[in-house]
Amino acid sequence: MSVQDAHSIEDLRRMAQRRLPRGVFDFFDGGADDENTLRANREGFERIRLRPRVLVNVQEPDLSTMLLGRRAGAPLVIAPTGAIGAGWPGADVAIARAAARLSIPYTLSTTATSSIEDIATLAGGRLWFQLYVLKDRAFTEKLLERAGAAGYEALVVTLDLATGGKRERDLRNRFTVPLRANWTTVRDFATHPGWCLQLLRHGQPRFKNLVGFEGASDPRASIAAKVGQSLDAAFSWDDLQRLRERWQGKFLVKGVSRGDDADRLAGLGVDAIWVSNHGGRQLDGSVSSTDALPDVLRGVRGRVPVLIDSGVRRGVDVVKALALGAQGVAIGRATLYGAAAAGQAGAERALAILTDELRRAMQLCGTPTVAKIDAQLLQPSGSTHEPNQTVDHETIGR
């Protein structure tokens, strides 16, 4: 099956599932514990109902918008995804290049399998760096210095990860990075010869940004445990303020789900707040991102733009998120499935699917521009998501 035969993100997901060993696919696809939040993220989008406008000229819808003061080709951001070189060699670069072609920001994970410098050199475009705050403050400082020196536009500090989530699929599959041979994994790998040949040709995926960091070197731990062992669970408001003062570019915080936290963060001087539950991969039972967004917007009170991720699989989901009040929508698994299925061609196909669906949804909703997507599109009383405010997507965050 050619990647061009994929007509939805779910099609790409199935292609990736067929190509990858079970342990690798489950690491990308799975969530924490019983995966209740993983499911709730999709259910949150599916509950939202739209009220289309009619008799509007939507012959040539314009998907472009302003994101953090710069024009983007669509109201999309690539969310950080770690260890994805286990799915396809150079997957980080592949997705970053696809993002650059669409003129949308790409966020590189601390636990990426391509380095800060390689992404800047090989992909270009609008680059953001997502930071896990590590116990080793000196090493964390080095990461900031490297991102600044490589010209990254923004720093995205992840706040919802005081420890790694319990991802039981990984534990059952005995999945680690670097990949470790045991009876479970050997049987799994052997049934996927194409993937195995790529691994032999390109070598083991490694956390390129954590080279020299001892906290990531334990081969016995699951990937979730490795991250958890290395994180600074004592990171505080004062620490975040010092980090804000240290970083000279745009400063975003990711993993926010409460209005009171958003209020304080907006007062701290952040440039944007990113509503996220880590794609359901950390605290199982946490609120879905669509349910958290209205409260965060009330806390922000229009002072800074708000982004949202977790559960986005369709272009119409982008319309729903913008109508709720988000300025931009971040996607993680969507382009990851594409890259795991077919490298850069798969990542580009994922973005083509989403932007085609977004364009179609805008036409069917009677919204010729992103700025016209507002709360009046949402089903009013009786819906879980009542219209809360109108957001000017053209001017906020400039």
Active site residues: 278
Query: Quick one: which of 54, 70, 196 has its CA closest to 128?
Result: 70
- Which of 229-238 are b and which e, b meaning 16 or more Cβ less than 10 Å from the residue's Cβ? ebbbeebeee
Strand 250-256 versus strand 154-158 pairing type: parallel
Say if residues 94 and 343 touch (Cβ distance below 8 Å): yes
Reference 278, options 251, 295, 252, 255; nearest CA is 255
Tell me the longest C-alpha to C-alpha distance in the chain. 63
d(CA 235, CA 217): 22
In single-letter form, the type of residue at position 309 comes to: D
* Extended strands (E) in the chain: 65-67, 70-72, 76-78, 106-108, 127-131, 154-158, 250-256, 272-275, 306-308, 328-331
What residues pair up with 167 in beta bridges, in sequence order?
A: none
Residue whose pair of structure tokens reads 């509503």 in the numeric block:
275
Cα atoms in the 13 Å half-sphere on the side-chain side of 335: 30
Residue of 351, 324, 323 lying closest to 336 (CA atoms)? 351
Distance CA(285)–CA(272), nearest Å, equals 25
- Radius of gyration, alpha carbons of the chain: 20
Q: Which residues contact 65 (CB under 8 A, 6 or more apart)?
A: 71, 72, 74, 75, 327, 328, 370, 371, 393, 394
Interior CA angle at 280 toward 186 and 47, to 5°?
A: 130
DSSP string, 334-350: HHHHHHHHHHHHHHHHH
Place of tokens 């599932």: 17
